[in-house]
Structure 1
Amino acid sequence: MTTTQSAAHYPGDLIEVTVGAPAHGGHCVARLDGRVVFVRHAIEGERAVVRLTETARKGFWRGDAMQILEPSPDRVTPAWSHAGPDGVGGAELAHVAPAAARAWKSRVLTEQFKRLAKMDVDVPVAAIDGDDEARSMGYRTRVQLVAGESGRAGMRAFRSHRVVELDEIPLATEAASQLLAEEDVFGREWKPGTLITAVAPADGSPGMILVDDVPWHHGRADRRPNARQTVAESVRVGEDDFSYRVAAAGFWQVHRAAPATLVDAVLDLAGRGELAGEDVIDLYSGAGLFTQPLARAAGSAGSVLAVESGQRALRDARRNLREYGNVQFVEGRVEQVFSADSPARADLVVLDPPRAGAGRHVVDAIASGGAPSVVYVACDPASLARDVATFAEHGYRLQEMRAFDIFPATHHFESVALLVRD
């Protein structure tokens, strides 16, 4: 393999670098003649030959580690061969030992809070039972594939429309893989661009295949008006059981254990035994994953106001909470429902915003409502850090934070933070 160290570089050129610290996004930072190169498929401390993939940006380049000259002791053989360079974009840390991958994510969380919130945090990212033994595979109850130009199903490559054809998807649970096999998803020829989704509830309830969001049964689309569109999900937290029915094409946490893990963390940080009679606001409430446990904890003397903009999710939530008389629903974007002039007044606010975070407008509205406690569920550490910094401007203190590795083999993880106003 030939490398070049010339001043001008283009995509496809090979460079040799020593890999630096991990950064948010699933890559590590290396430097070439002072220029930052974001390197995927490498580990801090490794000496690697990197193929450049982007060189047009003035501030930084991107590249993939193609050959490891000096490997890290944390390097492992990926459990999925398609997870490396030129492969799929859904398992970019498969080459990192699970414990080291969690330490990687914890460092990213620390760095984001230091840079964006000017706070020092040290929060371990907790493993989910069974994931290490499965080498970070077999956890997704929902997988989505796309048909490439050849008609074969696969997944898109990182930052690309190119489809990597597959014969299996090891990220899927056994039940999801069985659904794909029953419909011969990998052996069938599809129209290019077709989206195929397998949904297999973690509790073993009947799953389904969707093709372009249409139910698929015995090799064909089921377009009957009464065709099943939903799946049942159940969540057990301690001795409590919660039941949901959600649109198969809608949002639900993909890790088999994520719903229970997150509900338990939210209730624990909210003070589960002290919520009776409290007024709670559940923002970005979706199908009601947190709404139902919060409503049960608040009891008949308390209340829950759930705010959601998605009509499909709101329909599911109304169905899932129909037995709870202490829940009120508001359809609309959170930033349109609440503002500093129309604040969110409650004893507790729980929010689970999209990856971009809640933003200043929503944080200002929560703070103006005077809620003494806020539980923030976040899938992006940078967005969380920015919003926590805004909460701090309003006198909120980050009292506790937990993090969970519910996206093993990727750079993603989930955090749950408790903010209190003294």
Structure 2
Amino acid sequence: MSESPAVLDLELGPIAHGGFCVARLQGRVVFVRGGLPGERVRARVIDDSKASHWFATATEVLRADDHRVAPPCPVSQRCGGCDFQHVEPAFQRQLKRRVVSEQLSRGAGIEWDGAVEPAGDDEDGLGWRTRMRYGVQHGRPALRAFRSHDLVTVPEGGCPISHPAGRPAAEKAAAGAAQVAVAVAGALTDDPTVGVVADGHRVEGPSLLVEGLDPRVPLARAGNRSWKVGADGFWQVHPRAATVLAEAVIDGLKPRPGERALDLYCGVGLFAGLLADAGVRVEGVEVSRAAVGLARRNVPGARFWAGRTDRIMPRMSHRADLVVLDPPRKGAGRKVAGQVASVRPRAIAHVACDPAALARDLSLFAENGYRPVSIRAFDLFPMTHHVECVAILRASDDEAILRAQDGDGH
């Protein structure tokens, strides 16, 4: 590390992507965790390895913003799981709105004035996380510290953002294990089911490992459907997230019976299932063979491929009315954007967990003749900086679509 003072006295500027506030010190940018725009804080430097910018954590608030609150978790400033426990939940969404707006403007030239929508009317930001992975420290569940491999023991009573049904099971399993995974099914019911795996072995409830899922226990629901989901595979961790995103996608696409759709990065078939229920013929692709196996069970009328999206796309239908893509955090990228445009869909739904990656992808789709007609953002990860977005794209003109067919899609 280069020479730097251990503690800085800083005036905090705007919120930045990642949950940091931006401060400046003698021409250097300092990204500060645990602050709010406009506050004055003392902050401890935690990373000065870059000459252009440092990272720091607020240790003392000298001038507080009105939206600052006492964190509900006593270890929130040390644990890496939460970024915004010191912020009122409604203002957390305002901060996320600013980040989405700034990223879309910077990365795609889109001026967005939407809101970050809560997942439910009673959202207090706690008790929502249905899947947790813990290390163990002194016989108790622990989570990794911020930007560190060190462990921080969760407080008595459990991690406040974890679902309450899973907290006692985590405490019990941690007493004799090194690693514990907990998943809660039926999280919105009066009688949720808890599955626990300790050191790779089931110790309580249904087996929640891929290929070992108890077929009697649907792990997740959205709309009028249930999905079998492997605990090691992808599924939204907020109990309302799948329904919120599915409704946004279906409402935006407005599928019609008899249409064709591609579900890219399809996971276990969330969007494919709802499109099939609307009378749409669906093909899906997912890199995980285990997820594809579950997708085939969940949506038996659809066709699913296992492999990388960019490699499988040429083998899928060359025309589609609708495309849904839910890529990993890095986004879809230039090649997939071109491939999607080449099938000439009348509408595209892009689901994104990173606003910077979404902005990059939207700029690529614009090059291929598709632009967003709506962008919605959802607070599906309260107390963290993460935000989920759904963009609905349509062709800007037929000529642009024809140009796209001569590009990266072929």
The alignment's TM-score, normalised by the length of structure 1, stands at 0.87
Structure 2 residue 244 is matched with structure 1 residue 261: yes
User: Match of 1:410, SS?
Assistant: coil
Maintained 8 Å contact 1:152/1:189? no
Q: Which residue of 2 aligns with 1:40?
A: 33
Q: Distance in 2 between matches of 1:24 and 1:270?
A: 29
Q: Which residue of 1 aligns with 2:219?
A: 233
Q: Distance in 2 between matches of 1:283 and 1:227?
A: 24
User: Match of 1:56, SS?
Assistant: coil
Shift of 1:40: 0.2
Compared CA separation, residues 92 and 231, structure 1 to 2 (3 A): farther
Q: Distance in 2 between matches of 1:161 and 1:399?
A: 42
Aligned 1:300-311 pairs, distance under 5 A:
302-311=280-289
Shift of 1:63: 0.1
Compared CA separation, residues 180 and 244, structure 1 to 2 (3 A): same
Task: Give ranges in structure 2 of 5+ residues lacking alignment.
Answer: 397-410
Q: Which residue of 1 aligns with 2:7?
A: 14
Q: Which residue of 1 aligns with 2:42?
A: 49
- Residue 249 (structure 1) aligned to one of 232, 244, 266: 232
Shift of 1:349: 0.3
Structure 1 stretch displaced more, 44-53 or 207-216: 207-216
Structure 2 residue 264 is matched with structure 1 residue 283: yes
- Residue 180 (structure 1) aligned to one of 158, 170, 187: 170
Task: Give ranges in structure 1 of 5+ residues lacking alignment.
Answer: 1-6
Q: Which residue of 2 aligns with 1:320?
A: 298
For residues 170-194 of structure 1, the C-alpha deviation after alignment (integer angstroms, 9 at most, x for no partner) is: 111222224335xx135x1433xx2
1:214 maps to a residue whose letter is H
Q: Distance in 2 between matches of 1:230 and 1:156?
A: 34
Q: Distance in 1 between matches of 2:256 and 2:215?
A: 34
2:247 maps to a residue whose letter is D
Aligned 1:5-404 pairs, distance under 5 A:
8-9=3-4, 13-84=6-77, 87-132=78-123, 134=124, 136-148=125-137, 150-166=138-154, 167=156, 168-181=158-171, 184-186=172-174, 188-191=175-178, 194-202=179-187, 203=189, 204=191, 206-217=193-204, 228=214, 231-237=217-223, 241-271=224-254, 274-297=255-278, 299=279, 302-322=280-300, 324=301, 327-338=302-313, 345-404=319-378
Shift of 1:230: 8.4
User: Match of 1:397, SS?
Assistant: strand
Shift of 1:217: 3.2
Q: Distance in 1 between matches of 2:365 and 2:162?
A: 38
Maintained 8 Å contact 2:208/2:230? no
For residues 47-96 of structure 1, the C-alpha deviation after alignment (integer angstroms, 9 at most, x for no partner) is: 00010001110120000000000000010111111111xx1111111111
Compared CA separation, residues 178 and 229, structure 1 to 2 (3 A): farther
Shift of 1:375: 0.3
Maintained 8 Å contact 2:182/2:194? no
For residues 86-120 of structure 1, the C-alpha deviation after alignment (integer angstroms, 9 at most, x for no partner) is: x1111111111111110100110011111111221
User: Match of 1:65, SS?
Assistant: strand
Aligned-CA RMSD value: 2.3
The alignment's TM-score, normalised by the length of structure 2, stands at 0.89
Residue identity (%): 39
Q: Distance in 2 between matches of 1:93 and 1:344?
A: 45
Compared CA separation, residues 44 and 226, structure 1 to 2 (3 A): closer
Compared CA separation, residues 328 and 373, structure 1 to 2 (3 A): same
Q: Which residue of 2 aligns with 1:3?
A: none
User: Match of 1:22, SS?
Assistant: coil
Maintained 8 Å contact 1:208/1:248? no
Compared CA separation, residues 344 and 81, structure 1 to 2 (3 A): farther
User: Match of 2:359, SS?
Assistant: helix
Maintained 8 Å contact 2:119/2:378? yes
User: Match of 1:207, SS?
Assistant: strand
Q: How many aligned residue pairs are there? A: 389
User: Match of 1:160, SS?
Assistant: coil
Q: Distance in 2 between matches of 1:400 and 1:410?
A: 24
1:347 maps to a residue whose letter is D
User: Match of 2:361, SS?
Assistant: helix
